[in-house]
Structure 1
């Protein structure tokens, strides 16, 4: 619920604005904590965001992407390193960008800071832009006075995420195009080509081969019931989307992804690289190990691996060593487990976790480079099977007809 307030700050100046809170008492407590004495607090239907423009403009607005977040983080790091105050930095960034979403976001963050909120709390109001890990690390930077260093490490973290996504998209571009072309070809063959052959085969006096009868039957069924096929496909897609949105469905799907023949190894290595780099970043910033694992478990983007990390956290809280807890998860290689054990014994866990991240990143890079080469033989085999089925089902009756004509 939104509340419009008016108050006086420590210098007696009038301060007014709009905040999102559960009650007017919560607004008063928030203002008092920020050094503002409330004069009036009234509920309002006006939105906190200053973007404006109605539902159509909001629908057509360009979203804030991960690239935008990376650029914003780098700019904030540069300004903080130069000693520019945070409010002045945000005002300068707002004036230097032409992205409506970034402008709206920075205005809301500045308004939150003016109301006495922390920077991490202001970031948490925009979960679509700032992940829980980003918010948690920002809060750690504020508490420890190392915000500049945290922003630098966060920019490196975001750069790694973007690099992995770009490489995977590049590797999958050709296979996706081939699969899309195959799907279009199957639709055209079933809806337009096979019905024409069915009319020709209807004049044959002899029994058609089994493969031909299967193809013609499937084509006739598709032509007759294609609206139900489309509706069923859409329904199945929505049901699958709702299923993976549940905790159990997400856990099962993320676990299944790790067992895929080719992509599973890439997903596992990329996820573990993300875990190692995030854990090194959180631990080097002064976050306690148990709290760091709780935060990192939310950022690995895999519910199954996240559950294994939470299992490690529970073991650490019971007094067990990190290396022993990592061994119990069953997801790390022996080399990595040795490096974790050495880092724990020497007190250089942050350094070795960074090396582990770099090792997994290199292995992920090699696996991604070979992804297209591994998928191409499978695609060629599928295309070959399709051509063989069509040849046997469509051209074999024509061949038999030609042979019968020549025999006469």
Structure 2
């Protein structure tokens, strides 16, 4: 195996240089991280070896745009949280740790953000305040957990917990996307096949069916009418103005309808109705509930474990959920908890959360281990997603 030169920061905050045997630069990086080193650079001795990318320089399809067209990805933010937690646990001051992470960052967009945060902290601002100035990269969950960590003097532990939370959330998100690919392909292929049958196959039998003296069965007549509609309106039937305009009108109506539907789904009322419908779809509704409840429990449990007050934790959790049904339920839960009710009571009465979830939360309240129980709920539902 080739040798790779590396530069890293050890647990004492000192720079370490050396060589390590590995099959690739990525493997070398993993071996070094397993030894508790924060890697800043890995290069190969062989001319063909290429420098390994920094931990925060992974490409991704989705991210947040900043000046110059660059992107700050969710993976990069997670890596930064993990690196910062490691450096703080090693005893480095926050400002020095930020300077090191900023120095080794290779993504220009994120480097600019980290530079601004470092400057803000050096001027005496709180770390959470510096993060809050960049909402496109650091959401409310991130900022509030850091704020709680600062207040409790456990910023390193909170950052480690936050990194773990984000890593698990990203794994679940990737699994959900992967699981949705196959159904989407199947539905798309099925739609194409049905259209081909209606436009090409059914017309071949249409004359034969029309020549029969007996009336066609209702279902057969419906299929024939759909086929005729597609031929008349979706395909040019003749080289005349009317024949050419029909498809144009049809596609305009379809496109306009799709645009209007998308706009309506973007409204609060439209999203609420759509989410309620999805919840009732067999199998799909159950899957959505599992994923959403897992995210709720993981987010809420992480916030509680980090010292965020319960009412504030409910609000932050509600804002992180994309499902309107559960978000509205949490809004009602917030009001009742504020009035003095135990968390488990309004959760159970909302009708949105499974009985097992509310029962485990009740046990957590009674034993004083609410955050641990919430994270256990998330683990159980994550296993179901797997």
TM-score for the superposition, normalised by structure 1: 0.66
Question: Within 2, Cα distance between the matches of 1:172 and 1:202?
Answer: 41
> Is 1:268 paired with 2:289?
yes
Number of residue pairs aligned between Structure 1 and Structure 2:
306
1:142 is displaced (CA, Å) by: 1.6
Alignment of 1:93-104 (within 5 A): 93-104=101-112
Q: Alignment partner for residue 146 of structure 1, among 145, 148, 154? A: 154
Change (3 A) 1:201 1:266: closer
Which residue is equivalent to 1:344? 365
Change (3 A) 1:86 1:186: farther
Are 2:206 and 2:224, in contact at CA under 8 Å, matched by a contact in 1?
no
Question: Within 1, Cα distance between the matches of 2:248 and 2:128?
Answer: 50
> Is 1:231 paired with 2:252?
yes
Which residue is equivalent to 2:280? 259
Where structure 1 has 5 or more consecutive residues not aligned to the other structure, the ranges are 1-50, 366-408
Q: Alignment partner for residue 134 of structure 1, among 136, 142, 145? A: 142
RMSD: 3.0
Are 1:254 and 1:302, in contact at CA under 8 Å, matched by a contact in 2?
yes
Question: Within 1, Cα distance between the matches of 2:356 and 2:155?
Answer: 33
Are 1:190 and 1:223, in contact at CA under 8 Å, matched by a contact in 2?
no
Deviations, residues 105-134 of structure 1 (Å, cap 9, x unaligned): 212322333444332233223333222211
Q: Alignment partner for residue 219 of structure 1, among 231, 244, 255? A: 231
Are 1:190 and 1:222, in contact at CA under 8 Å, matched by a contact in 2?
no
Q: Alignment partner for residue 248 of structure 1, among 269, 287, 290? A: 269
Question: Within 2, Cα distance between the matches of 1:155 and 1:265?
Answer: 28
> Is 1:288 paired with 2:309?
yes
> Is 1:67 paired with 2:67?
no
Question: Within 2, Cα distance between the matches of 1:153 and 1:180?
Answer: 41
Are 2:72 and 2:137, in contact at CA under 8 Å, matched by a contact in 1?
yes
TM-score for the superposition, normalised by structure 2: 0.70
Are 1:194 and 1:216, in contact at CA under 8 Å, matched by a contact in 2?
no
Question: Within 2, Cα distance between the matches of 1:360 and 1:297?
Answer: 18
Structure 2 counterpart SS, 1:330: coil
Change (3 A) 1:205 1:346: closer
Question: Within 1, Cα distance between the matches of 2:104 and 2:139?
Answer: 24
Deviations, residues 194-236 of structure 1 (Å, cap 9, x unaligned): 69x67x9889994797454642342221114333343334333
Deviations, residues 328-365 of structure 1 (Å, cap 9, x unaligned): 21223333322222221221222222222222222333
1:151 is displaced (CA, Å) by: 1.0
> Is 1:82 paired with 2:94?
no
> Is 1:91 paired with 2:99?
yes
Instruction: Using CA pairs under 8 Å that are at least 6 residues apart, name the structure with larger relative contact order, 1 or 2.
Output: 1
Which residue is equivalent to 2:35? none
Change (3 A) 1:301 1:217: closer
Which residue is equivalent to 2:340? 319
Structure 1 counterpart SS, 2:137: coil
Deviations, residues 35-83 of structure 1 (Å, cap 9, x unaligned): xxxxxxxxxxxxxxxx754xxxx2xx3x322222222221222122222
Question: Within 1, Cα distance between the matches of 2:67 and 2:329?
Answer: 43
Question: Within 2, Cα distance between the matches of 1:336 and 1:181?
Answer: 38
Which residue is equivalent to 1:383? none
In terms of fraction of residues, the more helix-rich structure is 1
Structure 1 counterpart SS, 2:144: helix
Which residue is equivalent to 1:310? 331
Which residue is equivalent to 2:177? 169
Change (3 A) 1:309 1:217: closer
1:265 is displaced (CA, Å) by: 0.8
Which residue is equivalent to 2:10? none
1:273 is displaced (CA, Å) by: 1.4
Question: Within 1, Cα distance between the matches of 2:355 and 2:135?
Answer: 36
